[in-house]
Structure 1
């Protein structure tokens, strides 16, 4: 439970930065998650998973005074997913669904160029609003596109692997050489 409390404090203390392309003085910091933090996050994720299975979704935290507080299911799910991603070494940012993102911030989330993202907006594949001369995108819309795109990619890779298996692409050393007389 101590790890859960420490993780909760860590998450609560994280500031969600909203950088725009006009913020030229900001510098990117390393997104590498140190091994001790990854290990702690993995333990927290397993605690959250075990707790939710045992008590049908009830997760409690204990403060320094020993007082217990039950977490809402939505918060426990966010914490579990954040812990799971941190354990994998992937950086995490928590954004409200209605958060409006710049095209650069959305492109960073999707791991595409800003120009490509603008093309997606212009073709109607990704909804956006104009604020003056700038486009703004809802974080929920960007997340939905990312989920859909990732699912399509996974499906395509599964099909490719299946096709490779069908033609024997994964069989090593099965081709017999004919001996010369």
Structure 2
């Protein structure tokens, strides 16, 4: 048996605490709150607490991957134009 913990999949309608969502993104809770405040991840408040659906977290990850890919492609094209590749 492996000592490495495997992530447990969340149902898409599951509501996550900011702590659990930050853990899933491998970021600090403070960084996650910044993403929420900037409107990059949808959430709702329950009293004074934020709840994030697993589906909105997956959506953010997909959008972030697309942004990163686009930037990497731009950098590769620029490197090619400059004769660096």
TM-score range, shorter chain: 0.7 to 0.9
Cα offsets for 1:108-137 (capped at 9, x unmatched): 222222111111212222221222322110
Report deviation, 1:107: 1.5
Deviation beyond 4 Å, 4+ runs, structure 1:
none
Are 1:154 and 2:72 matched, yes or no?
A: no
Question: Partners of 1:154 and 1:123 in 2: how far apart?
Answer: 21
User: Who wins on radius of gyration, i.e. which is larger?
Assistant: 1
Q: Which residue of 2 aligns with 1:30?
A: 4
TM-score normalised per structure 1: 0.42
Structure of higher RCO (CA pairs closer than 8 Å, 6+ residues apart): 2
Question: Partners of 1:139 and 1:151 in 2: how far apart?
Answer: 19
Question: Partners of 2:7 and 2:40 in 1: how far apart?
Answer: 25
Point out where structure 1 has 5 or more consecutive residues left out of the alignment: 1-28, 32-90, 171-181
Q: Which residue of 2 aligns with 1:22?
A: none
Question: Partners of 2:9 and 2:81 in 1: how far apart?
Answer: 42
Question: Partners of 2:28 and 2:69 in 1: how far apart?
Answer: 21
Q: What value does the CA root-mean-square deviation take over the aligned residues? A: 1.7
TM-score normalised per structure 2: 0.83
